[in-house]
Every structure is written in C-alpha cells, then in structure tokens.
Amino acid sequence: MPLASSKDVLLKARAEGYAVGAFNLNNMEMAQAIVTAAEEEQSPVIIQASQGAIKYAGLEMITAMANVLADHASVPIVLHLDHGTDYKQNVKCLRAGFTSLMFDGHDLPLEENIAVTRKIVEIAHAVNLPVEAEIGSVLTIEGLLSDSEIAEIRAMNIPAQFEILRKKIGPTVEEHIARPEEAKRFVDETGVDFLAAAVGSVHGLWLDIWPLRVDRLQEIYEATNVPIVSHGSSGVLIRREDAEAKGVELAPGEGSLLDAIKVGYTKINVATALSMEFNKAMLASAEKRPGEKDPRKLLDPARKAVVAKTREYIRLFGSTGKAETAKSGSKEGLGGGMAKRGEE
C-alpha cells in the first residue's frame, strides 16, 4: 500500500488508547527490520529519518526505501521527518514524498518558533500533510555529560547509574519542561497536528530508568487535545512496577512510559535502543567470524536483532493487531490526499 499519513495512524491510536512506535532508520537493514517487525505484529509503524540519516543516505534514497517497503507491506507505514531543521528542509521532504513532517524550533524564542511552525503547517496542510513541532526542550545526554562521564556512569550498576544521573542532569531537565499554557497557545496559533512537548526525557539515554513528568504531560494533553510525541524514549523507565528494583525513586507527579501512554503520549520515538541492538549483534557476529569477507553475514544478525527489539516495543505500546487504519475518507482525508499526490 502507499505510504500512510501519521494523522490517520495517530488519531486512531489516541482514540483507542495505545501508542505507535516511530523508529529511526540508520540504514537499509534497520528500515527493513522495522517494517518486518510491524508486519509480524500487524501494527502500523512510523519510520523516521533523522538529520544524521538524511546526511548519510540522502533524501531520495530514504524516500525510495520507504516507498518500496510500504508498497510491499500489508500494514500502514508512515515516513516522517525527525527534528526538521527549518522551513526549506520541510519543503524538500514534502516534495520528496514524506507523509509526515516535523519542525524542531525548541531553541528559538517562542514567537519565532510559532511563526516558522505556522508557515510549515500552512504549506503542509495545503497538501494534507500533518506536522509535528517541539515545545520545551528534550535535551541530549551528550550535551549534558562528557564522553568520559558517560563511560564512567555506564560501568556502574543500575541503581548507582540512576542516582548519579538524577544528581547530574535532574535539575537541568526540570528547567526545560514545556508549560501547558504555552503549549496551548502554540497549538492554537500554529495549527500543528502533534506536539513534541518536553516532559523530562533526555535523548540518547541507554537504559529504561528515567522518569517522566506524567502530571505535566496530562495537563499539556488536556490543554491542547493533540497527540503528544515522546522524544528521547530509549532511556525512559518503561514500567512503574520496575522502579524499585532499578533503584528509581519516583517523585510526586513522575511516572513511566506506560503511565504516559495512558494520558497522552501517542507517538513514541525510539532511536538509541535500536541502534545499540543493531551494533551489539553486528559486533558479536564480527567477533565470531574474524576475517569474514561477506558484510551480509555480519549485517543479517543485526537486522534480526532489530526485528526482535522493535516487536518488543510494538507490543509494549499496545499497537499489535491495530494495522487497520482509520482512513479520514473525506475529501480532506489525509490517506486519499497521499495517494493523489503520489499519482500526479
């Protein structure tokens, strides 16, 4: 089937109380693995291209891969731009055939973030493309800690890792959380379809230990009534009941990823966890087969490992068996819009 619209997929998910995984592809094998996992789970899925992926493979290659994968898939596949840098890049992705856009203006003053986002929403909605935008800041672990600090922390046991992360990055994260009144103004004035609202997660964390400000997320969802996007999901504590064993003390208002899905998280972005899975399997094969001349012998196990990890996430998010997408159907319908654009 043709690439699907993130709006069709995410509005249905929100209405039914589950979330959809948005997995970053770094190469062909990861893209194939993500779609295979979605097929095996009969789940909709979003494959998304980061700035790094766009530099590495180029827009044309990414779009071609996504189209081929979607054409052969029996489940809805969305192609999304992750952390779009500006108006021009969004226009390029729109023209290239992406079916979901993003502008990340979190480091701009609010007025400017609103102005650029609104401009992108205008052109995107003219061809029935949905847009995500960011408010507050989802920080990046590499921007908060040095490589040697990260290596040192990673060598500790899990409770010790949590304790030190809490001390080192906890206060910084707090300052960057989105505010409900700003989020409402942002959505009202831009018309954006989904909101990447910062509620305490950090990009690039390696373990599921980091708590979210679920109270704030709920307020933001109630104020805006648009699906909320989780960035930096790899490091977030998945289940509240695992907190104690991991030495994670939840402060009032904090909760887990599964708590957050109940109150508004609908698109869950995962990058680091899949990349780590891929690398781990590839390196293990390289170790087992020193001198191997066929790269596919190292890449195939890595691809299989990503299928397994992606399936785990899909089941966790509750989208297994939800492949039947609510098509908007009307003239304004996003699914129909996509097909028409493709045919032109």
Annotated catalytic sites, by residue? 82
What stretches of the chain adopt beta strand conformation (E)?
A: 20-24, 45-49, 77-81, 101-103, 131-135, 139-140, 194-197, 202-203, 212-213, 228-230, 254-255, 265-270
Q: Which stretch binds ligand G3H (CB under 6 A): 61-69, 158-166, 233-241, 309-317?
A: 233-241
For Zn ion (CB under 5 A), the number of binding residues is 1
Give the one residue of 21, 97, 130, 204 binding ligand G3H; rule: CB under 6 A.
204
> How distant, in Å, are the alpha carbons of 38, 62, 79, 213, 269 from that of 51?
23, 12, 14, 27, 14
In this structure, the chain runs to a length of: 344
Rounded CA-CA distance 180/136 in Å is 10
Task: For 99-111, give the secondary structure using H, E and C.
Answer: CEEEECCCCCCHH
Nearer to ligand G3H by Cβ, of 83 and 106: the residue is: 83
Binding to ligand G3H by residue 100, rule CB under 6 A?
no
Nearer to ligand G3H by Cβ, of 202 and 323: the residue is: 202
Gyration radius of the chain's alpha carbons? 19
Beta bridge partners of 213: 254
Give the one residue of 231, 303, 311, 322 binding Zn ion; rule: CB under 5 A.
231
State whether residue 29 is helix, strand or coil.
Answer: helix
Name the minimum Å distance from CB 23 to ligand G3H: 9
Contact 175, 138 (CB under 8 A): no
- The binder of 233, among Zn ion, ligand G3H, none, by C-beta within 5 to 8 A per type, is ligand G3H
Name the minimum Å distance from CB 143 to ligand G3H: 13
Rounded CA-CA distance 136/172 in Å is 12
What six digits make up the tokens of 8?
């069709």
- Binding pattern to ligand G3H, positions 8-47, x when CB under 6 A? ----------------x-----------------------
Q: Which stretch binds ligand G3H (CB under 6 A): 55-63, 110-118, 198-206, 312-320?
A: 198-206
For ligand G3H (CB under 6 A), the number of binding residues is 16
Nearer to ligand G3H by Cβ, of 195 and 323: the residue is: 195
Binding to ligand G3H by residue 267, rule CB under 6 A?
no
Q: Which amino acid is at 115?
A: A
What is 279-342 written as a DSSP string?
HHHHHHHHHHSTT---HHHHHHHHHHHHHHHHHHHHHHHT-TT--S-----STT-HHHHHHHHH
Nearer to ligand G3H by Cβ, of 274 and 323: the residue is: 274
Q: Is 247 left (phi over 0), alpha (psi -120 to 50) or beta?
A: left
> How distant, in Å, are the alpha carbons of 114, 131, 190, 202 from that of 183?
10, 15, 11, 19
Q: Tokens 């029935």 — which residue?
A: 128
Give the one residue of 26, 233, 256, 325 binding ligand G3H; rule: CB under 6 A.
233
Q: Which stretch binds ligand G3H (CB under 6 A): 31-39, 67-75, 113-121, 199-207?
A: 199-207
Nearer to ligand G3H by Cβ, of 117 and 128: the residue is: 117
Nearer to Zn ion by Cβ, of 99 and 234: the residue is: 234
> How distant, in Å, are the alpha carbons of 6, 55, 75, 138 from that of 9?
5, 27, 11, 24
Q: Which stretch binds ligand G3H (CB under 6 A): 107-115, 202-210, 239-247, 295-303?
A: 202-210
- The binder of 211, among ligand G3H, Zn ion, none, by C-beta within 5 to 8 A per type, is none
Binding to Zn ion by residue 216, rule CB under 5 A?
no
Nearer to ligand G3H by Cβ, of 193 and 337: the residue is: 193
- The binding site for ligand G3H (CB under 6 A) comprises 24, 82-83, 203-205, 231-235, 269-273
